[in-house]
Structure 1
Amino acid sequence: MKLRPISESWHRIERWLQDRERIRELAPPAAGQDIARIAERLGVNLHPDHMQLLLGHNGSGSFTFPPYYEILSANEVVDAWRIKTDVWADHPHSPYRPHWVPFASDRAGGVLYLDVSRPDEHIGAHDREGSSLLSSHSMWASLPSLMHHTADALESGHVLDRYRRPSDEDDFLLWEVFPDAADN
């Protein structure tokens, strides 16, 4: 499967939301100075794909990645990173590393992150207990993969790693869980 650029996946997601009159759910794009401020405050550069995510929308509003991860705004990235590094700095098990830069949150202490110290960009997860609950599904291979798979699932209605897109009738853009389902 050929992955498309993040900007193309954003356009597909925006189109799906627009068709449902939900486009207002997304935040406006981040400004260059917002992204520069992240690097300044964290002392590490963002992954280029993370920059593209924020240049598409500086946070997701009520839109979520499967199953329930909201995209963090530039300010929220800094806040989530500070909380994680402060809480887990001296913890002997499952510490949170300073080069793990969060890009999405479950709003319950868990984040999705990219490890900016590694050349690959495999998505990591760190929940409030210090665990990672991600499956081996290919959507977690990279941020472009997550965006691409999310856009595909929204457009097709197919189950994605046990999750089905939000219903057109629901007030909240939450993915439905189907624990025994496979991708179709």
Structure 2
Amino acid sequence: MARPRNFTIEEAESSLLDVFWGDGYEGSSLRNLCDATGQRPASLYAAFGDKDQMYQAAMRRYLEWIDRQLTPAVDGADGVRHVLETTCRLTVEDRDRKGCLIVNSVGERENLSPQVNATVQASFDRLRALLHRQVHATFISSPPPDADEMVNLLMAATVSIRLLGRASASDAELASIASGAVHAFNRWADSSSS
């Protein structure tokens, strides 16, 4: 008869996320994952499967959290500001400067499964769709023809804040990227509306 689990999946996912987010996929040994969760390898394998599936569970947990953080209450120009300022705030508040699990995963693509790589791409696509929705909601009628270029600029600013935050850019530099992108967006939106 199998022994009952002495941990919850949610607690284990949270612990797995902490390890993978800080150490990356390759840097996270089974021993580290077991130490973080307080579980033996057999228990983790029984709950999640292999290391790849543990990473996927941690990514799902991260994506649920980051989606809640970045989704604005109102779409449009305020939504653009919310996404950029929230990205900056989350980066500055992270004193360990772990960066973004998704952005960090890009550097490990060759070591990740096709499923994880697909999740990474899908998360970038979701961020792009979120920014696209904010840009398009700014205009009463259809947005200007160069709206996708502005979405790309905002996407680049958002990702660079997370990447440069991990590279230890100063809080002021990160805030400058966020405010500069919001300012560029507002100037573009104003000139496009006139």
TM range (shorter): under 0.3
TM-score for the superposition, normalised by structure 1: 0.24
Higher helix share: 2
Higher strand share: 1
User: Whose radius of gyration is greater, 1 or 2?
Assistant: 2
Choose between structure 1 and 2 for higher RCO, CA contacts under 8 A separated by at least 6 residues.
2
